[in-house]
């Protein structure tokens, strides 16, 4: 079956199987920033933004993406022009092995898009469900705080 949706700003059409997960479709199409972790919606490695809301793509049947807008980490910034969150994660040392980073970045972006003054507790809630075994979350939370502050200054 063919499905159409906007991905990282571009309207695309994909050939998908009815029972194929959005995770599998995206990875098959080259969006490898979407990581395969637990396949149970518990680790956050496969997080993408669907219409601005973080979702675990391993739990979404690909046909549900029809006529939606999907953002993967590949659409967040470019190597030459990083998104402020990406730069802050690098600056704060919030990137270790990198496996959880795409999900952390996208969950953080969704938070900052709706709340430019998040508390530490709100940051923790937004990142709940994104597991990291390397960093202990302290540097990730600091990176989100610093990005929020920097983005407020630019406005």
CATH T-level assignment (fold) for domain 84-154: DNA polymerase; domain 1 (1.10.150)
Per the structure block, which two tokens stand in for 125? Answer: 């809630």
Domain(s) labelled CATH 1.10.150.120 in the chain stretch across 84-154
Q: Which residue has the tokens 């219409």?
A: 51
Kindly report the CATH number that applies to the domain delimited by 2-75.
Answer: 3.10.20.30
> CA distances (Å), 85 to each of 29, 67, 94, 142, in order?
25, 27, 10, 11
pLDDT one digit per residue (tens) for the chain, 155 residues: 999 999 999 999 999 999 999 999 999 999 999 999 999 999 999 999 999 999 999 999 999 999 999 999 999 999 999 999 999 999 999 998 999 999 999 999 999 999 999 999 999 999 999 999 887 899 999 999 999 999 988 87
| CB-based contact 23:36 (threshold 8 Å) | yes
| Three-point CA angle 137, 149, 130, nearest 5° | 25
Per the structure block, which two tokens stand in for 28? Answer: 């098959």
């Amino acid at each position: 079956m063919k499905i159409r949706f906007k991905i990282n700003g571009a309207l695309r059409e994909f050939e998908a199987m009815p029972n194929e997960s959005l995770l599998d479709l995206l990875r098959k199409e080259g969006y490898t920033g979407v990581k395969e972790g637990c396949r149970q919606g518990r680790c956050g490695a496969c997080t993408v933004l669907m219409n601005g809301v973080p979702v675990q793509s391993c739990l979404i049947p690909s046909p549900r993406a029809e006529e939606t807008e999907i953002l993967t980490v590949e659409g967040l910034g470019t190597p030459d022009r990083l998104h402020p969150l990406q730069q802050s994660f690098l600056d704060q040392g919030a990137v270790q092995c990198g496996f959880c980073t795409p999900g952390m970045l996208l969950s953080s972006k969704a938070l900052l898009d709706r709340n430019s003054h998040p508390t530490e507790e709100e940051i923790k809630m937004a990142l709940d469900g994104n597991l990291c075994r390397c960093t202990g979350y302290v540097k990730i939370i600091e990176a989100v705080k610093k990005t929020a502050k920097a983005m407020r200054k630019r406005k």
